[in-house]
Structure 1
């Protein structure tokens, strides 16, 4: 193996998050190319397997967001081919990317997470949407957050303050998958903690506070508007900073993640830290949170170099 590994970045794919994935792939490719690496970007299509065979990269960095990019499918393929790659193993990626599964594992480990209920679209078709929604009222109190059980970039996520809004929110969420999760809304400050897990084990990067005009960090707020404010590091006191970063490391370890992750929380008005989501393939665009945290810790470019070098070693 050369001292500077040849890197194949997989980006794109036929997911709802294709555009974000392509932008992530291009940015990481540019950073690594400028660092002297030989880098190729390949779409998740029929060209992938021939490229892997013909070019024989030292390490692959999957940057496909959502569905098969994060649910363990792509990771399982790379494992079967014996190709070193950046990110978590297939089983761990599958568990982390499924929101109810991740929440269940973490709740069992003592991590605080809002109450939730996960339902398939088939249940609504068989029992009737009105009957099911009426039965849900005692389980969770409004407001609630409705989201697809899989996927990222906040696609299909909305808040519902009543039954009619809940019905509409579930229709929106079902557009992105066959199963939705209804989660108790917890008000507070949105905090994202990126984890870098290399030679010395998992370590948190500076936490980021996200502030939006309407308090909704949805897809538009993340990628298509300039109204979102990011505070790096987050405006938390020392005790809360310690609490949220320790919680992020715990989540990363309980879920068995590898190399890097981004863990999202809400810190409520009483200072309680609530786990919301775990991301096994964090976005790497100009407005994405992992690059901002890496830059605040020193250098995003250096972080990328360290990640690919460590992953190329097969660890």
Structure 2
């Protein structure tokens, strides 16, 4: 049997380029172990010509941030009719925008920390201090600030004192023009991977995240030894079931496909709070999705080889 040729798309020009390259290398090695012919392609100006001239049997989007998660690369693959693993362009756009994802889950009855979203122009036109005071009056403290779009916790800032808010806001605006200010919920932080098998999304065991610094920021995510992970998460059976149901609901409600990762907090009273969802989750040595896959008793290569086969069948 001739094994398919797979193009793993990684890199790109977003702030998360390095993470994407690490994910792409690990995924490529895992797929080669399954016997697939794998090529690693950067998403640069030569991508379109390469897709046309070297046309792979399928592509896997291992891009993080920017065009890899906002639906742009997926749109190109759809126009060229190249089968690919991952969420469609429309689903990517819904998941990429954090306030949209929160609003969809909230409307469906799922808990999510209260939030406000404001563009940089509002602070400039109405006066920064007055707007900051209004945020604190409305949401209280502590808060977490994050760009409304993006991943890897880039630009995320925890604010426990109002005096910290101006500097945190400036740091957040370095990664985007619009800030999501969210009430900080204390509890057990978990990441829940969802993988589609036979067309049905299935939640893998939740991974508990315990960063040494207390904040799961970019450094804590991608520096070995700075975060402890527990797979499966140390949760009561009822809470473990609830976070799995939340992740599957997010996958379905946002129109995601093949694989996704939902981040959530389980508060002290057992309430499960939706934080955000990722349509192109990290696959590095410190990423939670590979941990969940291994805890489920399978391998990264086996899961993605199956998703490649499904993508090829889907295009047919």
Is TM (by shorter chain) over 0.5? yes
Secondary structure in structure 2 of the residue aligned to 1:138: helix
- State the match for 2:64 in structure 1: 65
Within a 5 Å distance, the mapping from 1:83-232 to structure 2 comes to: 83-232=82-231
Contact 1:100–1:118 (8 Å) recurs in 2: yes
Sort the Cα spacing of 1:146 and 1:253 in 2 relative to 1 into closer, same or farther, 3 A: same
Structure 1: give runs of 5+ residues left out of the alignment.
none
Shift of 1:202: 0.3
Secondary structure in structure 2 of the residue aligned to 1:142: coil
- State the match for 1:32 in structure 2: 31
Instruction: Spell out, residue by residue over 1:63-107, the C-alpha distance to the aligned partner (whole angstroms, 9 max, x if none).
Output: 110121101111111111111111111111101110001001110
Contact 2:213–2:220 (8 Å) recurs in 1: no
Distance 1:207 1:114 in 2: 20
Query: In the alignment, is residue 308 of structure 1 matched against residue 308 of structure 2?
Result: yes
Distance 2:78 2:179 in 1: 29
Shift of 1:131: 1.8
Secondary structure in structure 2 of the residue aligned to 1:137: helix
Distance 2:51 2:135 in 1: 48
- State the match for 2:246 in structure 1: 247
Distance 2:115 2:257 in 1: 26
Shift of 1:200: 4.2
Distance 2:2 2:140 in 1: 56
Within a 5 Å distance, the mapping from 1:270-289 to structure 2 comes to: 270-289=269-288
Distance 2:136 2:235 in 1: 35
Please give the root-mean-square deviation of Cα atoms over the aligned residues, in Å.
1.2
TM-score, normalised with respect to structure 1: 0.97
Distance 2:139 2:2 in 1: 55
Contact 2:31–2:302 (8 Å) recurs in 1: no
Contact 1:58–1:84 (8 Å) recurs in 2: yes
Distance 2:8 2:185 in 1: 37
Secondary structure in structure 1 of the residue aligned to 2:314: coil
Instruction: Spell out, residue by residue over 1:245-264, the C-alpha distance to the aligned partner (whole angstroms, 9 max, x if none).
Output: 11111111111110000000
Distance 2:199 2:82 in 1: 23
Contact 1:198–1:310 (8 Å) recurs in 2: no
Distance 1:4 1:277 in 2: 36
Distance 1:208 1:111 in 2: 20
Distance 1:55 1:218 in 2: 39
Shift of 1:168: 1.2
